[in-house]
Amino acid sequence: MSYEPALIILKKDLDKYKNLFHYGEIKNADSKEDTSEEGLTAMQYIKRVYDQHKTLRIGGVELVVCSPSHTSFNQKVRGKLTELHIEFETHW
């Protein structure tokens, strides 16, 4: 059993992509081979996190926490967040 780090994301950075998440064509935003066990691409996973995960407010800062499973998919999600200039931290 492997343990993957939780990703702690600034919600304000995700908000910058709200229009892309809701109106954009994200199916082709990354390659089909970069999928999770649910068949989601990294971008589709990030959209699902944005849409469905609750936020955590600490000192006026809103955070979203998620934990993509499997090492390779977790790395792909972190790579996509970096590519989009979305700040995040990892927590083991």
Per-residue tens of pLDDT for the chain, all 92 residues: 567 899 999 999 999 988 887 776 565 555 555 567 678 888 889 999 999 989 999 999 999 999 998 888 999 999 999 999 998 999 98
Q: How many domains does the chain have?
A: 1
* pTM across the whole model: 0.82
For residue 43, is it within any domain? Answer: yes
Is 39 a member of any domain? Answer: yes
According to the model, what pLDDT value does residue 30 have?
59
- State the Rg of the chain over Cα: 13
In a domain, 1, yes or no: no
How many Å apart are CA 91 and CA 40, to the nearest integer?
Answer: 23
State the pLDDT at residue 33.
59
The boundaries of the domain holding residue 12 are: 6-91
* 89/81 Cα distance (integer angstroms): 11
